[in-house]
Structure 1
Amino acid sequence: MGQTQSQTTRDAIITFLEGISQPFPPVTPFDKEFYAECHAGAVRRGWPPETIGKHLAGGVVMGSTGYAHLPNRSTRILIAIYTACGIYLDDVFHQDIEAVSQFNQRFFEHAPQADPVLDCFAQVLLELGDHFERVVSNIMVTSTLNAVTALTLEYKTQGMTMSPGAIGYPTFSRVMSGASEAYTLFIFPPSFTLPAFLQTLQQAMIFINNGNDILSFYKEDLDGESVNRVSFLAAQSGKTKQVILRELVEDAVKAHNNVLTVLAPHPEALAAFRAFVAGYIGFHASATRYRLEELKLRSVDE
């Protein structure tokens, strides 16, 4: 990525952060105690301790930033393990797509998975109903199963030419792969009634998906990745990736502000969402995989 392109990416991220009134935060100190609890929980659910490694670290950061406001520590641990399983799947599915493609069917049949980490993941899904309201946990499970299916879909559509008429496909595939329904609903503790937050689901999903696309774009473009939403939208529309990035910023800010409006009559739900947003940005700032420190984003706020 050339210097000019890096600068335009940096400008887009700054516009995004300013639009949601969030400064680029300092790196969150890694919580070793929380990591130890998550490690024990993952092993107890079947994850072989010798393969946890870097996958769990990302989940721990998510659990201790984006969802730090949740009152139940065991719920935060479950979210951290859930996230770690997702990171594991994303890292290894190219080497074992067959195990991934069998996950949903084996989950439905309560059959052993082809990978012990997938057994751990299946157990986490079964426990969601112990932590969240039944409708909410059902949506979380179906969202997750779609995300697993999306990995197989990605594998089977490698090299697919994006048709200019395929309006909506890039966003459809992004929503399917991101489990954004689950990550949105994780925000709200089970003590909140559904009417207090459910109407924000679609707009909060836009914020979460776009936010990740915006904050991961720098790293993905440096790595030459093309199987992502920004690339798909650019190919489908004929626009440049930088134009697409700016459009994602505009939509993310608009969605964020819409959520604030809908939650305004529900102070506790509003506070939960605001806490999540700050933590979500903190997660990306703290996860070295995104390489955001290279863009020197913090200097604009100091």
Structure 2
Amino acid sequence: MQWVDLGVLVADSSTASPHFMLRLYDYYSSYIANGMIMSCCAFIDANWLEVRALSKSAPTKSDAKLWPYYMRNINGAAAFYAYACFPKRDHPNIVDYVQAIPEITMNTNFINDVLSFYKEEMDGEEHTYCRTMSRVTGEPPIKVLQDVADEAVAVAKRAAAILKDVPAALKTLKEYEQGNIRFYLDEAHYRLPADWKAQFAQNLVQHRDALTQSIRIREEYVDCVPCNICHDGIL
């Protein structure tokens, strides 16, 4: 089977200037680049749908159990970011990591929901994932937030388990997760407390110290074959 480049459907190179989306195929396999473009298109559609729904003041029906996450999954372009972790130069075989894409996507969505919650509540936003899910389930928004936080941790662990036999992909996952959280902590837009950033940095240092200790023990008590796995923070 040969994947068709969706980029050719986005812009006709004979009549239009090169679109930035077409350049994705220079860096990603056709399947991955296609997925990134589809995520962008879904993001545009979702924003149109949200504006229309808000303008009509459409109520969220209690039987629409899957609606909140359906919208959440397409209105944040999370799949784009999940796919973007794996350029073909560093990850030439998509089979190595593709099964983890759903978990990485969900983690991206839920990390956003958790770390955006304070700002959204302070701004009185009513159409966030936590608020929408609250209206569907009848649970208080803070309870939904706890459930979302728990699920964010669970899917991160599953993604790591899926990639445990592919060190390069697992390393990429860990770096993406840390960078994603750091983005929210560093961005003033989210109004997160300064001590959260300090705690995050401290946790990274403790993690690195634990890895160093683990490496020392291995080198002292076992015949450890030199590799980059421990030093890169995979174990």
Q: TM-score, normalised by structure 1?
A: 0.59
Structure-to-structure mapping, 1:216-255, within 5 angstroms: 216-255=116-155
Instruction: Tell me the alpha carbon deviations over residues 123-178 of structure 1, each in whole angstroms, 9 at most, x when there is no partner.
Output: 22121111111100001001110000111000111121111100110000010111
Residue 22 of structure 2 is aligned to residue 126 of structure 1 = yes
* Counterpart secondary structure, 1:214: helix
Residue 143 of structure 2 is aligned to residue 143 of structure 1 = no
Residue 82 of structure 2 is aligned to residue 177 of structure 1 = no
Gaps of 5+ in 2: 1-8, 203-235
Structure 1 residue 298: deviation in Å?
A: 4.0
Structure 1 residue 293: deviation in Å?
A: 2.5
Structure 1 residue 179: deviation in Å?
A: 1.2
Gaps of 5+ in 1: 1-106, 112-118
Residue 115 of structure 2 is aligned to residue 209 of structure 1 = no
CA–CA separation in structure 2 for the residues paired with 1:244 and 1:268: 34
Structure 1 residue 195: deviation in Å?
A: 1.0
Return the match for 1:289 from 189, 207, 231: 189
Matched letter for residue 156 of structure 1: R
Matched letter for residue 124 of structure 1: F
Residue 83 of structure 2 is aligned to residue 188 of structure 1 = no
State whether residues 134 and 141 of structure 2, in contact with CA within 8 Å, keep that contact through their aligned partners in structure 1.
Answer: yes
Q: Cα–Cα, structure 1 residues 279 and 109, in superposed 2: closer, same or farther, change >3 Å? A: closer
Q: Cα–Cα, structure 1 residues 154 and 110, in superposed 2: closer, same or farther, change >3 Å? A: farther
CA–CA separation in structure 1 for the residues paired with 2:163 and 2:21: 28
Structure 1 residue 108: deviation in Å?
A: 3.9
Instruction: Tell me the alpha carbon deviations over residues 55-83 of structure 1, each in whole angstroms, 9 at most, x when there is no partner.
Output: xxxxxxxxxxxxxxxxxxxxxxxxxxxxx
Q: Cα–Cα, structure 1 residues 123 and 109, in superposed 2: closer, same or farther, change >3 Å? A: closer
Instruction: Tell me the alpha carbon deviations over residues 191-243 of structure 1, each in whole angstroms, 9 at most, x when there is no partner.
Output: 31101110001111110000001001111110111121111101111111100
State whether residues 107 and 156 of structure 2, in contact with CA within 8 Å, keep that contact through their aligned partners in structure 1.
Answer: yes
CA–CA separation in structure 2 for the residues paired with 1:139 and 1:239: 34
Matched letter for residue 248 of structure 1: V
* Counterpart secondary structure, 1:157: helix
RMSD of the TM alignment (CA)? 2.0
CA–CA separation in structure 2 for the residues paired with 1:164 and 1:197: 36
Instruction: Tell me the alpha carbon deviations over residues 219-273 of structure 1, each in whole angstroms, 9 at most, x when there is no partner.
Output: 1110111121111101111111100000001111000000000100000000011
Return the match for 1:274 from 174, 188, 208: 174
Q: TM-score, normalised by structure 2?
A: 0.75
Q: Cα–Cα, structure 1 residues 189 and 109, in superposed 2: closer, same or farther, change >3 Å? A: closer
State whether residues 186 and 197 of structure 2, in contact with CA within 8 Å, keep that contact through their aligned partners in structure 1.
Answer: no
Structure 1 residue 109: deviation in Å?
A: 6.0
Of the two, which has the highest radius of gyration?
A: 2
Matched letter for residue 22 of structure 2: L
Matched letter for residue 114 of structure 2: I
Over the matched positions of the two proteins, sequence identity in percent amounts to: 24
* Counterpart secondary structure, 1:292: coil
CA–CA separation in structure 2 for the residues paired with 1:160 and 1:231: 14
Instruction: Tell me the alpha carbon deviations over residues 1-40 of structure 1, each in whole angstroms, 9 at most, x when there is no partner.
Output: xxxxxxxxxxxxxxxxxxxxxxxxxxxxxxxxxxxxxxxx
Q: Cα–Cα, structure 1 residues 300 and 276, in superposed 2: closer, same or farther, change >3 Å? A: closer
Matched letter for residue 161 of structure 1: P
